[in-house]
Amino acid sequence: MAPIRVLLCLLGLVVCSNSKCFFKELVWDNNPPTGCVDDAGAEHEFGSEWVEDCMDCSCTNEGLSCCSKMPDENADIPEDCELDLDKDNCFAKMVLKSDKTKECTIV
């Protein structure tokens, strides 16, 4: 039973490691910035962290950094499996294509 748990944990790491991240460096004009501005135009204080559109974001004095909480849909997935993405709740699981009620297990 232990080898199966280890394998499932490793599979989870592979799926999670295929998430997308970006970094937006701060732009210094004549006035130093007071925080980070996201794509929607909202300003966030230095040291703040938030979740928006299934992205974990943070603001430092170097810039805005965000990483998707969802795995990349193009991740290496076994042929008989697919990702079931719930973007409303930022949740993903790997399920069998033939029976989406059963999670994929690699033997």
The whole-angstrom separation of Cα 71 and Cα 83 is: 9
Give all domains of the chain, ordered by start, each with its CATH number: 1-18+72-107 (no CATH), 20-69 (2.10.70.10)
Reference 38, options 22, 15, 17; nearest CA is 22
Question: Is there a contact between 93 and 52 (Cβ–Cβ < 8 Å)?
Answer: no
What are the tens digits of pLDDT across the range 60-96?
A: 999 999 999 988 766 678 888 988 888 888 888 889 9
- Between 39 and 58, residue with greater pLDDT: 58
- Between 15 and 64, residue with greater pLDDT: 64
Against a cut of 0.85, is the pTM above it? no
The DSSP output letter for 53 is T
Q: Residue 2: pLDDT band by 50, 70, 90 thresholds?
A: very low
